[in-house]
Structure 1
């Protein structure tokens, strides 16, 4: 399946209408909690996975139902164990690949990019299973995702020159676009997932 970037982004723009404020509020609260948790070295690592799953759930709500619920951003804690394991494993794998060269680290990041969406949709999955599923559905799409993310270049620049204010709109726009990508590729044929698969 060839990904239509313009269609993904156009759909995202429509879907985030009425959700930008909620996403901004959610991002502020999550950011504050993670910042406070930074008092301990391991705090952000413990919370990052659960909040990432929560943001994925919220983004999918926006894409599927056109309306995201603020409380959804905290539902990832129901999958605290699997989300923590997924975050830990992804960080390890990406760091190891990055030791070889910068580019393998980027490829690894793209390979695991759908992990939190998969956990959001499949609460029964373990962290390692979600990582393997992400690898499978991203086959043939890593380059497309890279180009898709790069297509937001001028939006990133706008965020910089507005000292982050533009992120109020840009962040939900990007998250919804990636959620739309996930919706397109998740149903493509993939190999059967084996329990407790590694990277």
Structure 2
């Protein structure tokens, strides 16, 4: 593949593809193509797609000779490649970068898993209220840790918006806003509520919502 426009394979409604779209827009990258691959329709299992992503998942980013998958790896790449433009989302010192990485790990290993467990029940029809309550109880323990952290800093890695915050937007939006569990999650957690209001009001995220 020749050097030129970035190609992102995925679909905007996917939480992982959405994560990459936000990163691109925060960095001011407009010259990219979103090539729709709908895994729910089996499009991830085609030989053409599996040549790019052997597990048949999305997203995949192509940048010249580079083919990259796993959304958090992709957003790190975007932050580094376009370091000199857009929002500085990866930190500017070794300490800041380390804290961004730490909270990206927290998001991937703790927040994301617990949030998706809640979504499994919140998005069901009919909703199993007992199982949802149990999942929310586990998730609340994660949110309590976030409340403590955000009582000291405006954002997770410090007083600057970063990949660590950005990575929460897609999954968090589904639970907090789409399935209206934010009221429960934010009760007694004013710093989490303020943090979510700040990151979910960013123009780049609003543009991604328009694509969904």
TM-score for the superposition, normalised by structure 1: 0.29
More strand by share: 2
More helix by share: 1
The higher radius of gyration belongs to 2
- Tell which has more relative contact order, 1 or 2 (C-alpha 8 A, sep 6+): 1
